[in-house]
Structure 1
Amino acid sequence: MDKIWLKNYPAGVPETIDPDHFSSLVDILEMSVEKYADKTAFVNMDREMSFSELGQKVEQFAAYLQGTGLKKGDAVAVMMPNILQYPVALFGILAAGMTVVNVNPLYTPRELKHQLTDSQSKGIVILENFAHTLEKVSAEVPDLELIITTQIGDMLPAPKRWVVNFVVKYVKRMVESHNLKNTVDFNHALTKGKASTYQRPELNGDDLAFLQYTGGTTGVAKGAMLSHRNMVANLEQVSSVITPIMSDGEEIIITALPLYHIFALTANCLTFLKHGGRNILITNPRDMNGFVKELEKYKFSMISGVNTLFNGLLNTRGFKDLDFSNLKVALGGGMAVQKAVAEHWERVTKSRLLEGYGLTECAPVVTVNPYDIEHYTGSIGLPVPSTEMKICDSETGEEVPLGEPGELHVKGPQVMVGYLNRPDATAESMQDGWFATGDMATCDERGYFKIVDRKKDMILVSGFNVYPNEIEDVLADHPKILESAAVGVPHESSGEVVKVFIVAKDKSLTEREVIDFSRENMTGYKVPKLVEFRDELPKSNVGKILRKELRDESDA
């Protein structure tokens, strides 16, 4: 389709970017370490790490890795939450010329074994809290040669380091006993690397930066091969749309989403490293009260999150009393941002919530709302520069008329090389450079795109398409509802009916109230026929509600 969205780009946003502006992410790291040497790069548990210190520790870790016998291009896994060791390990692996394999720390032994085996990871950097999971499968991962362990407090100054590690291990008992053999302590690796000589590898855009695994919620997780060029391109795209409202070296970004997830990895870690921002790493955002206490310490200017995180903050005591005077924008993604949540956020913070859209396979950013919008638009915004998009009939592959729903296809320099070891899956989802997202979307005459729903989540009621996002968006307006999830369950006469799972804000809420409210706001076939109340809903590592789990329960 024609790039009808270009006419709605705000001032200062270019039509295209140069994906080869930097030859690798290591070039960007080195640039920022020199340019912002005395600025703070990362903060965690009140410990600040400057860009200069980050550069030193990254070089030490890279030198250590090179001295172990691992070679350029080898895969090294990272299995940690948001702590200071994460960026050191991440950039150390990249600086050594190796490929990062991000691993969700909450993985089961089966999931961990699959990812380490599929990626042929030669090493892993793992928080000791999760070492017992690795122990159960380490003998079954033939390529794993190097295991580096660390404790939560290892990069904090003494005596705080000792206290934190003692409390985590012996008071809160968050570290299960394990018997992993031949492990190396993270701080020992840095010390050894300091005494070694770092060899800067030759890197270009075709070298793999990340093997980033898809969530696996619709089947076995697949490794998206993201090259340095893919990542550099997406950083240039993100920079181009936010630079007009950014002050290099001055921004404070709240990073509550896990850095091992592609959204926070690009939007927070890499983008703000490039622009000299201060990243506040939140280790446990599920502790909402503790999270709000941490936010009290900083006059933050930006924050990223998913709908459930924003909603959780808005419903946590003390959040509305924070100082939002420096807050420029909140970036929402990962799942649909609900209108009620966005409008509530704008009322409380007096700032904009920009919804965007991305996928692991696209490094991840594909669209974002313009920085100059005044209010929530209900859309995922406009394609970022150098990105083509079209909406196709999922059966025929032909483009649909403007305004009609269909499957969203994306083309651009941020689109992955392909899926590791899965030529069939790559061929199925990628044709002539176009990536078929599996998301159903529409586009209006201004070039604004809107996600209707995941193709796999769509509910079919008597031949009518029902989109869970729409139902959940309506229910979010009910004053007694905190969260909801809609799924389709089999029905003899209509094929499927709508079932909703509700987490009530007010426990007096009844099934009849939910159905009556739905009937007032939706057409008949969309109205839930079944209502089930829950204390909580299953969520992914970034807080995305897992409809598939609820659907599987209902089908059982």
Structure 2
Amino acid sequence: MNITEQLAVTAQSQPEKTAYVFEDKQTSYMELERSVQKFASSLTGMGLKKGDHIALVVGNSPYYVIGLYGALRLGAVVIPINPLYMANEMNYILNDGDVKAVITMDVLLEKFAAIHEQLPGVRNYISCDSGAGSSSLEDHILGPKLHSFTDLVQAGSPGWNPAEWKDDETAIILYTSGTTGKPKGAMLTHRNIYSNAKDVADYLAINGEDRVIAALPMFHVFCLTVALNAPLMNGGTVLILPKFSPSEVFRIAKDHQATVFAGVPTMYNYLLQSGESQGEFANIRLCISGGAAMPVSLLEAFEETFDVQISEGYGLSEASPVTCFNPLDRPRKAGSIGQSILNVENKVVDEFGEELPIGEVGELAVTGPNVMKGYYNLPDETASALKDGWLYTGDMARMDEEGYFYIVDRKKELILVGGYNVYPREVEEVLYAHPNVSEAAVIGVPHPEAGEAVMAFVVSDDSSVTADELAGYCRQHLIGYKVPSEIEFLDELPKNTTGKILRKNLRDQVKQ
């Protein structure tokens, strides 16, 4: 079984059930299934076949859902790409990923027009109508390579029969942002994608009555699995937001009786700071947080304000992505990413791969049907990440006596101050607990004597707060070598499109 077969099964059993809502328009499972089937059949008419790589450069919309499931129905390999990437960033992924066709929005065509001569492998561009009044496709520089997404869906055959493929064949290649070097393409199989969506849905009890808000970007694996594939797995409804907006999240939650919201910590911070009434979330039974560690003070403040439980979890692209969640049948543990989900095993190991005793900090390793088959065309990097059936995550963690895991920090983010380990998250937790700090990020900077020193970047809604005051506050809660030697105030912290704070950008800023 794979996710497109599951969609067909649901469409047969519940044809009139709403699969998704976009711009307040409802689309049934059978309508979605027919569009997916017809789009897949039209792809074959363009000469595309099983195993070809298709880039999906589309924001949150029905185009993304139909494009993803349609390409997978064909047996193609989908490569989701952030639509906000610059032309040179897309150029690298399209060439490295051996892409044969690109599905994108009409407003992005000029990006591809600028680099199309550097993309000899791309034979087809499929344009999605944004309604922005763009010029005719016939007059475009991409010429005969250019096709209309809408026309392809309309012209396709609903009776087309897809090719068969095996569970261990690659379905999706996710290019990881990484902290250094070029992005790497994590190859996820049909089994990886299906198993993680099913296990997440079952673990979080996402069912046909749930209406899940998809405000995270769908090109990111967190949204792809938790807010799209998981609800579609069990006949739920996806409430698609083109982009995150606190007011729109509250509106759609109220108007469509949303029951589940998934977001990253910065989203929860924006929602908390928005000042909206907690009544907007009256029907929400569960909030899911991932993508980065949530400060405990933020988690507790949000739960108290909106009277809703947040289940914090953990995942990474290479694991499709989820490996842990706080269980729902008992009180969650603040600061913990929870326990291993169904069919997945996590452990904490030392530098030799030996499992560490309870409470000791080491690298988190994971195994299960969700773990990637490797990095595309990178055998050495694959061998480094996958050892004896275990994926080494690069995250430092510890486990308590009840099997709950706690992320301490990224292995590469560790700060060494005079030989002592400082984990940025520990310092950030203290800063977040200060009543006038709304955001904080901590990095290591060179120090002539100690090797490294702790530097903090803070966003505050009170202009009277000083660096000395915050440093004094830290000294009340941290040993001396963990206290930031420098604190800089910013209007906002740099973030990626999922809202994750980018410490790398802050380090680059210090180097300039």
Please classify the TM superposition score into its range, dividing by the shorter chain length: over 0.9
The aligned runs of 1:375-524 (5 Å cut-off) are 375-394=332-351, 396-524=352-480
Distance 2:269 2:331 in 1: 20
1:181 corresponds to which residue? 143
The equivalences for 1:137-286 within 5 A come to: 137-153=115-131, 165-166=132-133, 179-182=141-144, 183-194=146-157, 198-243=160-205, 246=206, 248-285=207-244
SS at match of 2:255: coil
The partner residue of 1:342 within 295, 299, 303 is 299
- Residue pair 1:284, 1:291 contacting (<8 A) in 2 also: no
Of the structure 1 ranges 520-529 and 209-218, higher mean CA displacement relative to structure 2 is found in: 209-218
1:301 corresponds, among 259, 279, 282, to: 259
1:377-435, CA deviations, whole angstroms, 9 ceiling, x for partnerless residues? 311110112222221223x3333222110111111111100000000000111111111
Query: Equivalent residue of 2:331, what SS?
Result: coil
Shift of 1:376: 4.4
Deviations 1:87-136 (CA, angstroms, capped at 9, x unpaired):
01111101111111100111111210111111111111101232222222
CA-CA distance at 1:179 after TM superposition: 4.1
Residue of structure 2 equivalent to 1:555: 511
Structure showing greater relative contact order (alpha-carbon pairs closer than 8 Å, 6 or more residues apart): 1
| Residues in 2 aligned to 1:443 and 1:178: alpha-carbon distance in whole angstroms | 57
Report the more deviating stretch, 225-234 or 486-495: 225-234
Which aligned segments of 4 or more residues in structure 1 are displaced greater than 6 angstroms? none
Q: How many residues align?
A: 508
Gaps of 5+ in 2: none
Partner residue in 1 for 2:308: 351
Maintained 8 Å contact 2:254/2:282: no
Partner secondary structure for residue 323 of structure 1: helix
- The answer as to whether partners of 1:132 and 1:178 remain within 8 angstroms in 2 is no
State the AA in 2 paired with 1:198: W
RMSD: 1.8
- Residues 298 and 505 of structure 1, relative CA distance in 2, 3 Å threshold: farther
| Structure-1 separation of matches of 2:179 and 2:82 | 13
What secondary structure is seen at the aligned counterpart in 2 of 1:77? strand
Structure 1 residues 90 and 494: alpha-carbon distance in aligned structure 2, compared to 1, 3 A threshold: same
Q: Does residue 360 of the first structure (1) align with residue 323 of the second (2)? A: no
List gaps (5 residues or longer) in structure 1. Answer: 1-21, 154-164, 171-176
Q: Distance in 2 between matches of 1:44 and 1:413?
A: 32
Match of 1:14 in 2: none
| CA drift at 1:363 | 0.6
Whole-Å separation in 2 of the counterparts to 1:269 and 1:341: 26
1:545 aligns with 2:462: no
In the TM superposition, what is the alpha-carbon distance from 1:178 to its structure 2 partner?
A: 7.5
Query: What's the CA shift string for 1:273-323, capped at 9, x where partnerless?
Result: 0111111111121x43344334332221101000000111111132x3433
Q: Deviations over 1:239-285 (max 9, x none)?
A: 33123xx4x32111111101110011011111100111111111121
CA contact (8 A) 1:81 1:260 kept: yes
Alpha-carbon distance in 2 for matches of 1:522, 1:545: 23
Question: Whole-Å Cα distance in 2 between the matches of residues 71 and 375 of structure 1?
Answer: 46
The one-letter code sitting in structure 2 at the alignment partner of 1:277 is G
Superposition deviation, residue 328 in structure 1: 1.2
Deviates more, 1:62-71 or 1:34-43: 34-43
**Which residue identity lines up with residue 100 of structure 1 in the other structure?**
V
Q: Is the 8 A contact 1:490 1:555 kept in 2?
A: no
Could you tell me how far apart the structure 2 residues matched to 1:272 and 1:330 are?
Answer: 14
- TM-score under structure 2 normalisation? 0.96
